Chains A and B, each alone.
Chain A
């Protein structure tokens, strides 16, 4: 197991190198020069070519691409993610502030999704083609089809119009003020979680339906086991594996996919930092955030793979 773990972690390296190369290249290919944007502002600032050149030199964006890439990678190896091109603050400080917020939001959404989706999906499969199944399918289909940002706006409007209440604007961290933190995160969690519920419930349903048709389930029923045991002991243990895979993937997706929800609910997470940095072409922050998202995806997939072995005794890593 430990050898497997080491091998998997070692495999992170080429993946991350590839991601770093891609994100670095895309940032440089994408139109938009940070020095130009700093001087232009919203297009109204004026400057001379000399000032532009000086600023490029100061930011290091006039260096050959290989030098820029090498400097960035060497910095990361030493634990230095660089500094914002705009205000000079260390990227690590900015991410340290934001990452826990997004991690908490993503974890809450995935947890909510998992806790509701699995029983719902199993129930829907067990009651196939009954009103329970139809209702579940309508609700989950809507959840998958409705864009998350649209549901978010709808929630905000309903809260404001009907309840004359909105989540507080001042963000409080979980460990500083748990009650306020909950007030702020509960609705974005529900919005994100709704999609997770819908998506995972549909995967659980189809996976369960497939397992329900297996011989060993028929055998379990034939020997007189009660349906609850058939479903939750024999079926779920086998149908949960694809659900777990999807959950791990969803968690990684959420890390980069909460941009709009963070904007709508005014949550200072990595999503809003990413979008703000993209508008400003703040390369060091963008590169660090995308690399971080890649690490989260790799880690969540690794955790899922390890969970396989826990849930399915037939799976052994060596």
Chain B
């Protein structure tokens, strides 16, 4: 039976990759493109809607218009300059004020890339040159047209050397230069043919800013100074209380936005957020996810609201335990592998997420290695009665003994006082105790924890990594290559570097997948600094009165409100 399932999975995967290969190899122009790293067969199907452009897509005609909705967010937007922003709090606040060149499809399949300011684009045969054709109607709120000069200026600003660009800086690896061919045509050159380039351009941080405003020295970090091109304008901001949007009456996309406005309340207390949701004081957590509710809490909200509040969920990224490989005994790869083998991922998943976290794969579950196959990997395998395979624990003990720690050792497990880290810690402690590692649990305030991790002042740490875009490049650059946000101590394996350099340039998805499988084979030996424990789920509660709301593939994309509408009469 399992062989049949496996064959089925492989067949679907081959079909998927074949289809993707066809898409990737042939089109050099279009109005939409699937992301080159696809995780399901469905993603290769044609998009459910035309790309949002000047001509209204079909779903716009079906939508109701008007109304101002109340939503909530769990934190203040720290910065209003999207290129300087590092968090989803800022991205969510600014995304509806501006446009990107390309974006993720607001209707399923949401991992499809469609145009935003670009009505279409072409890619040269060598994959090095992108030519974007902009909507002629696009204009800034002050009436000036959005031009190719704005795009060139913004792209250069996103990668400006020496300036804080915590998210847009990801483009540096790919972006070479750009130039305006005419007022509505931009040519962008990449350093190499990069399958992930469009995906990065579609992230919410990569918005196009008005050159004339910035060159006039106006600080766009002040909400009142913002001149955007987006569907909404700022209509008030009080730190710690709310920020509000009102529709841009001269928005250049026909029929959009659908709402008159939105008011986003800052509610930091989860209990207060819950009661506000239940009494319809707010209709949801502003797209996208990161509401802070656990799966169980979210399910309780759905149940108690009798279907008025629905939960949308995604696998947000890999979660891991990371070790300080510059300290003894973690400098020994055998010790790192022993920990990798000893972690009981299923127990953690059941205890924290009721089994709803994704398997602890390197890349998105199912995208490179079939999930069934992952369950046979050492460290991930279980006996028929659901117990952790004893071979893994035996091997872990043998490795520790070989490394000179037959009697185990003591270490500090440092975690921040947020998310689920505190709930997990006792499980990790008990699991590692089985191979003789005695952990002292140390809880620290969040900012202090991040500082300690950056400075290497820890033995073992713990963090979930919410990916910016859904592409293996992000996993490599954030976790497995030196300088990444999850690799601040600079762990490097030349084999992984080599595979990264090859796959990042590989336009053929099938060949790219083979390279990624090789990388996965190296990483799953458990000898790197990062020990995957799962792909963690995140949930967003949303009232049924809010229509056309779909989570994007990550929490850092598709946070615009332009496609959402309000149906006050909607019932569960």
Partner of A36, one of B84, B167, B272, B450: B450
A38 pairs with B451, CB closer than 8 A: no
CB interface residues, B 232-272, toward A, < 8 Å: 238-242, 263, 265-269, 271-272
Contacts A42-B87, A54-B164 given; does A169 touch B242 at CB 8 Å? yes
B279 pairs with A156, CB closer than 8 A: no
Interface centre among A43, A48, A160 (most CB of B within 10 A): A43
Q: Is B403 part of the contact surface with A, judged by Cβ < 8 Å?
A: no
- Give chain A nearest CB distance to B96 CB in angstroms: 19
Contacts A41-B86, A46-B170, A48-B483 given; does A157 touch B275 at CB 8 Å? yes
Q: Is B509 part of the contact surface with A, judged by Cβ < 8 Å?
A: no
Q: Which residue of B lies closest to A94 (CB)?
A: B239
**A276-B278 Cα distance, complex, nearest whole Å:** 26
A40 pairs with B86, CB closer than 8 A: yes
Q: Is B42 part of the contact surface with A, judged by Cβ < 8 Å?
A: no
In this complex, the interface size class of chain A, counting residues with CB under 8 Å from chain B, is: 35 or more
CB interface residues, B 214-240, toward A, < 8 Å: 219, 221-222, 238-240
CB interface residues, B 39-86, toward A, < 8 Å: 70, 76, 78-80, 84-86
- Give chain A nearest CB distance to B532 CB in angstroms: 16
Q: Mark A89-106, 1 if CB is under 8 A from B, else 0.
A: 100001001100000000
**A229-B76 Cα distance, complex, nearest whole Å:** 56
CB interface residues, B 471-494, toward A, < 8 Å: 477-478, 483-486
Q: Is B468 part of the contact surface with A, judged by Cβ < 8 Å?
A: yes
A265 pairs with B451, CB closer than 8 A: no
Partner of A40, one of B219, B281, B454: B454
Contacts A44-B485, A47-B164 given; does A88 touch B221 at CB 8 Å? yes
B164 pairs with A87, CB closer than 8 A: no
Q: Is A123 part of the contact surface with B, judged by Cβ < 8 Å?
A: no
Contacts A264-B272, A280-B447 given; does A87 touch B240 at CB 8 Å? no
Q: Is B282 part of the contact surface with A, judged by Cβ < 8 Å?
A: yes
Contacts A46-B485, A51-B165 given; does A169 touch B282 at CB 8 Å? yes
Q: Is A31 part of the contact surface with B, judged by Cβ < 8 Å?
A: yes
**A166-B221 Cα distance, complex, nearest whole Å:** 33
**A130-B278 Cα distance, complex, nearest whole Å:** 45
Partner of A276, one of B238, B239, B451, B465: B239
B240 pairs with A273, CB closer than 8 A: yes
**A160-B263 Cα distance, complex, nearest whole Å:** 21
Residues on the A chain within 8 Å of B70, using CB: 169
Q: Is B1 part of the contact surface with A, judged by Cβ < 8 Å?
A: no
B485 pairs with A45, CB closer than 8 A: yes
Q: Which residue of B lies closest to A30 (CB)?
A: B448
Residues on the A chain within 8 Å of B444, using CB: 31
B263 pairs with A170, CB closer than 8 A: yes
Q: Is A266 part of the contact surface with B, judged by Cβ < 8 Å?
A: yes
Q: Is B572 part of the contact surface with A, judged by Cβ < 8 Å?
A: no
B238 pairs with A46, CB closer than 8 A: no
Q: Is B452 part of the contact surface with A, judged by Cβ < 8 Å?
A: yes
Q: Is A268 part of the contact surface with B, judged by Cβ < 8 Å?
A: yes
A55 pairs with B164, CB closer than 8 A: yes
Q: Which residue of A lies closest to B219 (CB)?
A: A88
Residues on the B chain within 8 Å of A268, using CB: 238-241
**A281-B445 Cα distance, complex, nearest whole Å:** 12
A44 pairs with B275, CB closer than 8 A: no
- Give chain A nearest CB distance to B159 CB in angstroms: 12
A45 pairs with B451, CB closer than 8 A: no
Q: Is B162 part of the contact surface with A, judged by Cβ < 8 Å?
A: yes
Q: Is A249 part of the contact surface with B, judged by Cβ < 8 Å?
A: no
Q: Is A153 part of the contact surface with B, judged by Cβ < 8 Å?
A: yes
Q: How many A-B residue pairs have CB under 8 A?
A: 159
Residues on the B chain within 8 Å of A97, using CB: 238-239
Residues on the B chain within 8 Å of A153, using CB: 271
- Give chain A nearest CB distance to B515 CB in angstroms: 23
Q: Is A33 part of the contact surface with B, judged by Cβ < 8 Å?
A: yes
**A272-B272 Cα distance, complex, nearest whole Å:** 14
- Give chain B nearest CB distance to A97 CB in angstroms: 7
Q: Which residue of A lies closest to B161 (CB)?
A: A50
Q: Is A147 part of the contact surface with B, judged by Cβ < 8 Å?
A: no
Q: Which residue of B lies closest to A58 (CB)?
A: B164
Contacts A42-B87, A263-B268 given; does A32 touch B162 at CB 8 Å? no
Q: Is B359 part of the contact surface with A, judged by Cβ < 8 Å?
A: no
B271 pairs with A157, CB closer than 8 A: yes
Q: Is A186 part of the contact surface with B, judged by Cβ < 8 Å?
A: no
Residues on the B chain within 8 Å of A159, using CB: 275
- Give chain A nearest CB distance to B74 CB in angstroms: 11
**A31-B452 Cα distance, complex, nearest whole Å:** 8
A40 pairs with B450, CB closer than 8 A: yes
Interface centre among A42, A43, A44, A153 (most CB of B within 10 A): A44
Residues on the A chain within 8 Å of B163, using CB: 51, 54
Contacts A86-B79, A88-B219, A263-B272 given; does A42 touch B466 at CB 8 Å? yes
B271 pairs with A264, CB closer than 8 A: yes
**A264-B164 Cα distance, complex, nearest whole Å:** 34
Q: Mark B443-465, 1 if CB is under 8 A from A, else 0.
A: 01111101111100000000101
Residues on the B chain within 8 Å of A40, using CB: 86, 166, 450, 454, 485
A47 pairs with B169, CB closer than 8 A: yes
B78 pairs with A280, CB closer than 8 A: yes
Residues on the B chain within 8 Å of A33, using CB: 451
Contacts A44-B468, A44-B478, A156-B271 given; does A169 touch B281 at CB 8 Å? yes
B275 pairs with A51, CB closer than 8 A: no
Residues on the A chain within 8 Å of B484, using CB: 46
CB interface residues, A 10-44, toward B, < 8 Å: 30-33, 36-44
Q: Is A279 part of the contact surface with B, judged by Cβ < 8 Å?
A: yes
Residues on the A chain within 8 Å of B167, using CB: 41, 44-45
Interface centre among A97, A169, A260 (most CB of B within 10 A): A169
Residues on the B chain within 8 Å of A160, using CB: 275, 278-279
Q: Is A314 part of the contact surface with B, judged by Cβ < 8 Å?
A: no
- Give chain B nearest CB distance to A228 CB in angstroms: 45
CB interface residues, B 281-296, toward A, < 8 Å: 281-282
A171 pairs with B238, CB closer than 8 A: yes
CB interface residues, A 49-97, toward B, < 8 Å: 50-51, 54-55, 86-89, 94, 97
Q: Is A223 part of the contact surface with B, judged by Cβ < 8 Å?
A: no
A87 pairs with B448, CB closer than 8 A: no
B447 pairs with A37, CB closer than 8 A: yes
Contacts A40-B166, A86-B78 given; does A156 touch B238 at CB 8 Å? no
Q: Is A165 part of the contact surface with B, judged by Cβ < 8 Å?
A: yes
Q: Is A7 part of the contact surface with B, judged by Cβ < 8 Å?
A: no
Partner of A44, one of B80, B86, B446: B86
A36 pairs with B169, CB closer than 8 A: no
Q: Is B276 part of the contact surface with A, judged by Cβ < 8 Å?
A: yes
B162 pairs with A51, CB closer than 8 A: yes
Contacts A41-B87, A46-B478 given; does A165 touch B164 at CB 8 Å? no
B452 pairs with A169, CB closer than 8 A: no
Q: Mark A140-162, 1 if CB is under 8 A from B, else 0.
A: 00000000000001001101100
Per CB-CB distance, the 5 closest pairs between chain A and chain B, nearest first, are A45-B166, A41-B86, A45-B86, A32-B447, A268-B241
16 A–B contacts, CB within 8 A, in A order: A37-B450, A37-B451, A38-B78, A41-B167, A43-B450, A44-B87, A44-B478, A86-B78, A87-B80, A156-B271, A160-B278, A169-B70, A170-B241, A265-B272, A268-B239, A272-B240
- Residues of A bordering B, CB below 8 Å: 30-33, 36-48, 50-51, 54-55, 86-89, 94, 97-98, 153, 156-157, 159-160, 164-166, 169-171, 260, 263-266, 268-269, 272-273, 276, 279-281
